Amino acid sequence: MKIVILDRDGVINFDSPHYIKSPAEWKPIPGSLEAIARLNQAGYRVVVATNQSGVGRGLFDMDTLNAIHEKMHKAAAAVGARIDTVFFCPHAADSSCDCRKPKPGMFERIAACYNVDLVGVPAVGDSLRDLQAADSAGALPMLVLTGKGEKTQADGGLPADTLVFKDLAAVVDDLIS
């Protein structure tokens, strides 16, 4: 089984320093949903792994998070794309959970649910914590320069095997070429 793990905010949709707190605030980055469709057509399962501390902070509730994800799924379907599963950590940044990236808990859950070894599995993110979680789980960290990506690259400290791409479409070009 071919699988790709994507962060949500900054990779699939525009990010906000104030969090994406409603379906109206969720807006796809141009070309990202079409890139997911191309992954699907190439036989990849697309899984999202996203920190959503806004739930733990009380900025929005689970019904709102579900509505945001429903909008994402519908927008993806409208261009022939499919996101197989969304894994998320709802805990605040100061929580001691195992699922909040940079910890690898979400990635371990993905591996268990899909019964796959994550070694070499592409994991696309725009922040250092995305890349660290991927690296800890044995996945291949891929940084996109959308979202926080340019700042993440400039700050340095990336896992040694991190690949860098302009955006999700460029990642997909590389994966399916």
Residues in binding site for Zn(2+): 89, 91, 97, 99
Over the Cα atoms of the chain, what is R_g? 15
Which amino acid makes up residue 129? R
Set 9, 15, 130, 167: catalytic member: 9
Catalytic residue, chosen from 7, 15, 135, 167, is 7
The question of whether 84 is a catalytic residue gets the answer: no
Q: Which residues are annotated as a binding site?
A: 7, 9, 89, 91, 97, 99, 126
Phi-psi region for residue 95, left (φ > 0), alpha (ψ -120 to 50) or beta?
Answer: beta
The two structure tokens encoding residue 72: 């994402």
Cite the annotated binding site for Mg(2+) by residue number.
7, 9, 126
Active site residue 9: yes
Beta-carbon contacts of residue 119 (< 8 Å; ≥ 6 apart)? 138, 139
Active site residues: 7, 9
